[in-house]
Structure 1
Amino acid sequence: MTLLIGSARISGRPRLRTAVLPLLALAQLPCHAVQAQVSRTEDNAITNADDAFGQSVGNERVGLYGADDVRGFNPTEAGNARIEGLYFVQASSPGGRAISGNSIRVGLSAQGYPFPAPTGIVDYTLFRNFGGLGGNLRLEYGQYGSPILLADAQLPLGADAGVTLSLNLREQERHEGGRANNMGFGATAAVRPWEGAQIIAFASEFRFWKDPAPPVSFPDGDFLPPKYKRRELLSQPWALRDNSNSLFGAVAKLPFGDWRVDAGIFQSGRRVPETYADLFTRLRPDGTTPARVIVANGNNRHDETSGEVRLTRSLVTGQVAHKLMVSARGRRGERVFGGPQRINLGESTLLAPDFRDPPAIMLGPDNIDRVRQGSLGLAWSATAPGRFSIDGSVTQWRYRKDVDFGPPAREDVLVRDTPTTGSLTGSVFLTRDLVLFGGHVRGFEEALVAPEVAVNQGDAPPALRTRQSDIGLRYALPGNIRLVAALFTISKPYFNLDENQVFRELGSNTNRGAELSLAGQLLPGLNIVAGAVLLDSRITSPLVDAGIIGSRPIGTARRRMIFDADWRLDGGDSPFSFDISVNGLSAQVGNAAGTLLAPANTTLDLGMRYRFTIGSVTALLRGQVFNIANSYGWTVSSSGAFQYRPRRHASLALIMDI
């Protein structure tokens, strides 16, 4: 890709070039009176991180955990997501361009957080603009030559109000081979009615289409799939996926002296008009299979409306600050799923393309899954700065789930529950720099739906009772380095495939572990984020006792380690900075019996930043090389599906604050 700002000359793909030219014209406008409200050139997850547990800022992310994996479980699928700290149930990952980043709240970072949940919380942050004028543009030559355009604009609506408009265009070269298209847009409108108050309304949409269904393999024994050529398109040309995700809502944070009202209402939707899964079942050591199965599905949708209203009263008694909170939450969800067609292609191989003629697709009747959920919660916190903090909460839930199955032979499901959950957490300063923290949380959350390989694909079990206990220490080292060490245990029911490929409850799953985080500025210009988690994940079940399944869940690993460093030269004053990221994962359990392990894998990524100006426009050149050693590794899903990790690839981005 060639980019010359002065004459707005771009060589690249016509579709992206057409979209970019008007935005480059904007960059030529006089900017002496224009000041960007949000600087994308300063996005840096390493320098922004308070710990190693997980944070994303714009397109950058760092940490041990992500939105789909915290302490060995998935917090978003468990219903533990928040937007601006308020209860939010997502039908799909928040796409579009209204969300600016997220943080993982776990252990110490969950201390003082209203109504914590087991397995941690993923808290999303919205774009906002209070009277700023400006824009941001990102032109990227992404993985394997993917052209990417990201554009944001901030427009004022007065001194304390404004809007943001965002666009994402991408032709994505998939690491499994083939190309997919995706597009996202978003908008927010924010107003600050008085000091400390804010109201934000937002909407976003994200669509992914012409996306080839990558092959996944299930070895028929204690052996790994053969190493086959990466980036070679093995998908059937007609097995193209199409889906769109939407998210909109509003948030209000309104202080009234010692009182405060926080409220949010959110609608998350997902539409799947067409989707496929390409399964190499009963895979042999030579990469062949007697039963390559294409699972065709479509006409599916999922909608979730959720929200929270929280009233907080603050008061001080002596040297202790108290907060009393009352929270009401609600959720209304509907999911239309089912009716898949399983197409057995018979003999096939992973080692070479094996294209077939498209079959006639005849989907079966749909099933409808409806959830109604509400809660009323009370919470109290007391904080004495530099001495101690304590937080307690109790929540009463009302839950109803009914599933109407389309096939007459399947019996409908109706579940009602009224669980009570609660938490008690706290911290105490042992010295000025050393803090002891811990707590116990009991929760109530959604279970995973049955995967594509299950004969009851798409089924959703009833909600689960969960619990978590943790204890740890935080130590403030000289300078600006924070060390956190913690022990935790989490228990919940265990769902997976039985010997008949039926997805059902098989027992209970307990994750015990230790985690370590070291983050901060080691020297002027040198920031580090380092962490490790040691996990002992165990299943308790009669099937384990009988030797039918192993004692460790599929897809789990005993150890993960990360090390990230960002070094800006000249003590932080140079336009140049360099970054390194090392991510190590130990062997993953590869089958239900626990007799197959996917080998340990370590990847090394390198990056650089160069900051400069174009007239009065601040710009950043960002280059990255991923998996620089080109290591060949496997990922294993919770259902036992193997896929290779991406091979070495690079990206180069030009980012401008206009």
Structure 2
Amino acid sequence: MQPRFLSLLYPTVSLLSGLTVSVQVYSETEAEPDSTLPVVEVSASADASADGLSSPYAGGQVAEGGKIGILGTQSNMDSPFSVTSYTNEYIKDKQADNIGDVLKTDPSVRVARGFGNFQQVYIVRGLPIYSDDIGYNGLYGLLPRQYLATEFVERVEVLRGANAFLNGAAPGGSGLGGAVNIVPKRAGNEDLTQVSLGLEYGTQAYLSTDLSRRSDDGRFGVRVNASQHDGDTAVDGESAELGMAAIGADYRGESLRVSADFGYQNHKLKRSQPSINIGAGLLIPVTPVASNSIAQPWNYSNEKDVFGTLRAEYDFNDHLTAWVAAGIRDGDESGFFSNPTTINTNGDSTATGFQNVREDAIQTGETGLRVKFKTGSVDHRATLSANVYSSESKNAYGFSAFSSIIGNIYNPFPSATPDTTFFTGGDMSNPLLTAKTKTASIAIADEMAFMQERLLLTVGARNQTIEDYAFNYDTGAETDRYDESKTTPIAGVVYKINPKVSAYLNYIEGLVKGEEAPDTTSSGAPVGNAGAILEPYSTEQIELGLKFDSGNIGGAVSLFESRKPISGLDANNVFVELDNQVNRGLEISFYGEAQPGLRVLGGASFLDADVDGKKAIGAPNTQANLGLEWDINAVYGLTLEGDLSFTSAQYADDANTQKVPDWSTLGLGARYVMDLWDDQLLTLRGRLENVTDENYWASAGGFPGAGYLTIGAPRSLSISATIDF
């Protein structure tokens, strides 16, 4: 696919422009570089860039565009990629607590779980994005590894499809089917003093504050967010606690823009529902009652993170701009898990106790240069960018005797805290360095505008180097390493059929480091090459689509195909590259305001994820979402909302003998906004999730080759009151 496609494209580029570099286009109204700096609303700046944030689309739930990696912020109609950017307004109105709560409303995304812990995993186009591989203003590895509270978030941007050129290789080994980028909050033009009180699941309360101020001249801004959540969840016996704080500051001068962020999050879980493995040869059992925890009383997960970023952008003149960004994170995790494996159709199970600690230290940075110029009638915006990433992880673990914990998923009962010294690695009180990853890349891009910006063409390439090291848990001695480089190209075309319809085509690749062999199988058996790291591999994707924008309603239809190697355990419990997965799909999305006071958001995804004639684990054929909001004219300030979510059947094993049933959920909500005194507002929100109290298996797998199941959330009520002082 790649040589044939590029052999047609590159001569075309040479004929059209005489150049073979790549980048971004001018704005829709710009014919050539302006002699003055563009006027940008302060409220639209979240990353120290002149582009700032895309404006909200009609209805305010999503934005008109989003950040496209090193190409910067682009409108949907100008971009040869499929992107949705969910706004802070949408996040607050849905009372979303975390990133998974936001993304579960996307028809191309479903939320799964990491291997052996409670890490959120986002399945996009049938492929995982680990929560530690989401970006923070374009930088990897800076956000808490397992879970992120939405109080940090201004926008959640979802890019569907491979993206190695745009963002660089995700260091955690995922992101081949898409990318998620988090945009932090900034002070707007108007002062903000907001306090929210909420009660979730009946007994979990929270208090949060959101404050921002700007200087009189508008150049300096500070925004502070803090929140505390604590209490039981809708699952009987389960509790959660979260504390967070964030500070975002920015400066905007005539030529210099600077932003800085600091974040802290402390997240604790007790007796959270475990993942459930289904014994080989058994059919998928009936889902246990979702409101009853089957976790052991000694199960817990703690995660604490501190992170920060600094970004600056400088205009040398009207044509040349440079930027630099850097970030760090320190994270500490500990947990005690026991994920049961069913052994018969009655729900009897066995489990192994697993205890671990982990410490992470991340440093990352990026720099770039962007220039605008013309060749004949062709407008160019060329970009040169480089980034680096470094992470060190210290780990230690301990297992109890295999299958030492007896239980039943339908009639759970407590077991004594097991001894986890049966099989150990490292010192739990003083873990050693066990993994180190370094990446570096350089990318060049040129986005060209022809025919008075009716035809947009983007080409480019990124050379990526990945270094990975593994070390013995007990001695610290190096056990495995590799140092590999690979160049991944990009080619994208947008043709504006008319002002309301754009057609696009892209070829792009994904690239990740080789996966690390787990220490044990899902049943607790040791892996023959435990800790070994496989060589990097890439995916190839081609995508064709149409986008439309009527002014009030927008959307897209796209067809895509991607191909990736897959790794897993062979018959001898050795972790190797096994096969190729070919994903072909059709995606439909729509959003906006169908008529004044009636907002819509939804779509459908149809996917064929093929592995040697079988369906890939955890890849449903059909996913669909429909969300509606209706402002009630008879009661000023009252809005009713509802959303439906459907996920078709999927498989939990490679042989496709364990079929997970389809599921649907209904959510209903309402909000009421009233004036208090001196133009102050009170917003009351209420939301009931899983209205019909369905018991269902929400996901299968999340880690390559594994088919563990997670139980969907039970019916739960959330209410909140927000006062704007």
TM superposition score normalised by structure 1: 0.84
Q: Specify the alignment match of 2:232 in structure 1.
A: 173
Q: Which shifted more, 376-385 or 325-334?
A: 376-385
- The 3 A distance-change label for structure 1 pair 201 and 532 is same
Of 278, 283, 289, the match for 1:223: 283
Matches of residues 98-137 of structure 1 in structure 2 within 5 Å?
98-106=152-160, 119-129=177-187, 132-137=190-195
Matched, 1:414 2:477: no
CA drift at 1:436: 1.4
Matched, 1:247 2:311: no
Matched, 1:331 2:385: no
The answer on whether the counterparts of 1:46 and 1:565 sit within 8 Å (CA) in structure 2 is: no
Matches of residues 375-394 of structure 1 in structure 2 within 5 Å?
375-384=441-450, 387-394=454-461
Q: Distance in 1 between matches of 2:457 and 2:164?
A: 8
- The 3 A distance-change label for structure 1 pair 460 and 231 is farther
Q: Specify the alignment match of 2:671 in structure 1.
A: 609
Q: Specify the alignment match of 1:260 in structure 2.
A: 321
The answer on whether the counterparts of 1:331 and 1:373 sit within 8 Å (CA) in structure 2 is: yes
Q: Which shifted more, 199-208 or 276-285?
A: 276-285
The answer on whether the counterparts of 1:436 and 1:472 sit within 8 Å (CA) in structure 2 is: yes
Q: Specify the alignment match of 1:27 in structure 2.
A: none
Q: Distance in 1 between matches of 2:43 and 2:548?
A: 35
The answer on whether the counterparts of 2:198 and 2:206 sit within 8 Å (CA) in structure 1 is: yes
Matches of residues 52-451 of structure 1 in structure 2 within 5 Å?
54-58=84-88, 59=91, 60=94, 61=102, 62-66=105-109, 68-76=122-130, 79=133, 81-85=134-138, 92=145, 95=148, 97-106=151-160, 119-129=177-187, 132-157=190-215, 159=217, 160-177=219-236, 178-194=238-254, 197-220=256-279, 221-256=281-316, 257-272=318-333, 274-289=334-349, 291-298=350-357, 300-317=358-375, 320-343=378-401, 344-362=403-421, 363-365=424-426, 366=432, 368-384=434-450, 387-406=454-473, 412-446=479-513
The answer on whether the counterparts of 1:130 and 1:191 sit within 8 Å (CA) in structure 2 is: no
1:476-495 CA distance string (max 9 Å, x none): 34x52223111111222212
1:412-459 CA distance string (max 9 Å, x none): 111110111110111112334332101111232245656673635776
Question: Partner of 2:61: helix, strand, or coil?
Answer: helix
1:177-231 CA distance string (max 9 Å, x none): 3212111111111111227x53111111111125224233222234123333332
Q: Distance in 1 between matches of 2:230 and 2:496?
A: 52
Amino acid aligned to 2:624: M
Of 701, 706, 712, the match for 1:637: 701
Q: Distance in 1 between matches of 2:373 and 2:193?
A: 41
Q: Specify the alignment match of 2:3 in structure 1.
A: none
Q: Distance in 1 between matches of 2:389 and 2:494?
A: 32
Q: Distance in 2 between matches of 1:43 and 1:244?
A: 36
- The 3 A distance-change label for structure 1 pair 619 and 262 is farther
Q: Specify the alignment match of 1:28 in structure 2.
A: none
The structure whose RCO (Cα within 8 Å, separation 6+) is larger is: 2
Q: Mark the runs of 5 or more structure 1 residues left unpaired by the alignment.
A: 1-35, 541-549
Matched, 1:599 2:654: no
Q: Distance in 2 between matches of 1:114 and 1:640?
A: 29
Q: Distance in 1 between matches of 2:584 and 2:512?
A: 19
Question: Partner of 1:632: helix, strand, or coil?
Answer: coil
Percent of aligned pairs with the same amino acid: 18
The answer on whether the counterparts of 1:275 and 1:296 sit within 8 Å (CA) in structure 2 is: yes
CA drift at 1:507: 1.6
CA drift at 1:261: 1.8
Q: Specify the alignment match of 1:13 in structure 2.
A: none
Amino acid aligned to 1:296: Q
Question: Partner of 1:69: helix, strand, or coil?
Answer: strand
Matches of residues 470-481 of structure 1 in structure 2 within 5 Å?
470-477=543-550, 479-481=551-553
RMSD: 3.3
The answer on whether the counterparts of 1:394 and 1:422 sit within 8 Å (CA) in structure 2 is: yes
Q: Specify the alignment match of 2:624 in structure 1.
A: 561
Q: Specify the alignment match of 1:529 in structure 2.
A: 601
Q: Which shifted more, 358-367 or 374-383?
A: 358-367
Q: Which shifted more, 143-152 or 208-217?
A: 208-217
Runs of 4+ deviating beyond 6 Å = 42-46, 110-117, 408-411
- The 3 A distance-change label for structure 1 pair 218 and 87 is closer
Q: Specify the alignment match of 1:47 in structure 2.
A: 61
Q: Distance in 1 between matches of 2:572 and 2:462?
A: 38
Q: Specify the alignment match of 2:542 in structure 1.
A: 469
Question: Partner of 2:615: helix, strand, or coil?
Answer: coil
The answer on whether the counterparts of 2:164 and 2:510 sit within 8 Å (CA) in structure 1 is: no
Q: Specify the alignment match of 2:567 in structure 1.
A: 495
Amino acid aligned to 1:637: G
- The 3 A distance-change label for structure 1 pair 90 and 609 is closer
CA drift at 1:126: 1.4
Matched, 1:585 2:644: no
Q: Mark the runs of 5 or more structure 2 residues left unpaired by the alignment.
A: 1-41, 45-55, 65-75, 77-81, 95-101, 110-120, 170-174, 427-431
CA drift at 1:317: 4.9
Q: Distance in 1 between matches of 2:657 and 2:257?
A: 55
CA drift at 1:350: 1.5
Of 555, 560, 563, the match for 1:483: 555
Question: Partner of 2:633: helix, strand, or coil?
Answer: helix
- The 3 A distance-change label for structure 1 pair 401 and 562 is same
TM superposition score normalised by structure 2: 0.76
The answer on whether the counterparts of 2:139 and 2:327 sit within 8 Å (CA) in structure 1 is: no
Q: Distance in 2 between matches of 1:491 and 1:358?
A: 45
- The 3 A distance-change label for structure 1 pair 155 and 147 is same
- The 3 A distance-change label for structure 1 pair 167 and 428 is same
Amino acid aligned to 1:398: T
